[in-house]
A and B are shown apart, each in its own frame.
Chain A
Amino acid sequence: MLGTPHIDILRSPLGRARGLGSARAGSHHWWVQRLTAVALVPLTIWFIFSVIHLSGATHQVVIDWLSTPLTLGLMVALIIATFHHLQLGLQVVIEDYVHQEAAKTGAVLLMKAACVMLALVCLVSVLKIGL
């Protein structure tokens, strides 16, 4: 790359970008990230209060807490919004810092798979306790 400056391609930046343009998914990604962020504002406040309430709680207290329909519903919403927001955010971070195409795609897919699995494990856990 460095060394004697030379030009060995003749295509202009515009010519190169043509046909490789936006996948038209960017604005949807941006919007869903904001949507989940807005949903997480009240859910996070509720969750912090819940964690304070449950600090040092016995197993039975946690089971009773999760067995109320409202708590269970809020936990399901929190888990879905959190992991959806997380995978959207981490995708942008990976795309910003990993430039090699195969490594980038691999890292994004791996991260998304991990987020889906963690979300499913969390959902199954709260549903198994609360239902």
Chain B
Amino acid sequence: MRDVREALMIARNSEGKLVRRPLSPHIQVYRWPISMALSILHRASGVALGVGTLLLTWWLVAAVSSDDVFEQAQWFMGSPIGLLLLFGWSVALIFHFFSGIRHLVWDAGIGFDAPTYSTSGWGVLIATGVCTVLVWVVGLMTW
């Protein structure tokens, strides 16, 4: 037993025998309320945006190189794979943006009660959907 927390998981039963305390069920047995889903999505989108910074870095490095290299980068962004990556990046960014604002409001001590965080959670999802569609409609119109 390396970790002292292990000691807390062991106790004596009514007969004085050492037993392992029962564990409460792990997360897979619970229904996923929106609070739980958005919590992990916030983290996942943050990690995805970290990967997305590679795309930004590549684009900026292409812009500093030559006309040809930049044209290649722009061509890639407009290719099916590029558009898919850009779409994923935009969804992650817009979601993380609204979800992050929700976190900042919580940090101010507002909106912690169950009905409010459920409502604000759905609000984040709706805002993400609406803004992503708007960005792409305007973006593809002006491409």
Chain A complexes with chain B? yes
Q: How large is the interface on B (under 10, 10 to 19, 20 to 34, 35 or more residues)?
A: 35 or more
B51-83 with Cβ < 8 A to chain A: 53-54, 56-57, 60-61, 63-64, 67, 70-71, 74, 77-78
Cβ contact within 8 Å between A59 and B63: yes
Cβ contact within 8 Å between B107 and A8: no
Bound Cα distance from A90 to B45, whole angstroms: 11
Cβ contact within 8 Å between A5 and B53: no
Cβ contact within 8 Å between B50 and A86: yes
Cβ contact within 8 Å between B93 and A59: no
The DSSP consensus for interface residues of chain B is helix
The DSSP consensus for interface residues of chain A is helix
Shortest beta-carbon contacts, A-B, top 10: A125-B60, A59-B70, A125-B64, A5-B18, A56-B143, A52-B139, A16-B4, A5-B10, A59-B67, A55-B143
A: which residues have CB within 8 A of B? Answer: 1-2, 4-9, 11-13, 16, 34, 37-38, 40-41, 44, 48, 51-53, 55-57, 59, 62-63, 66, 82-83, 86, 89-90, 93, 118, 121-122, 124-126, 128-129
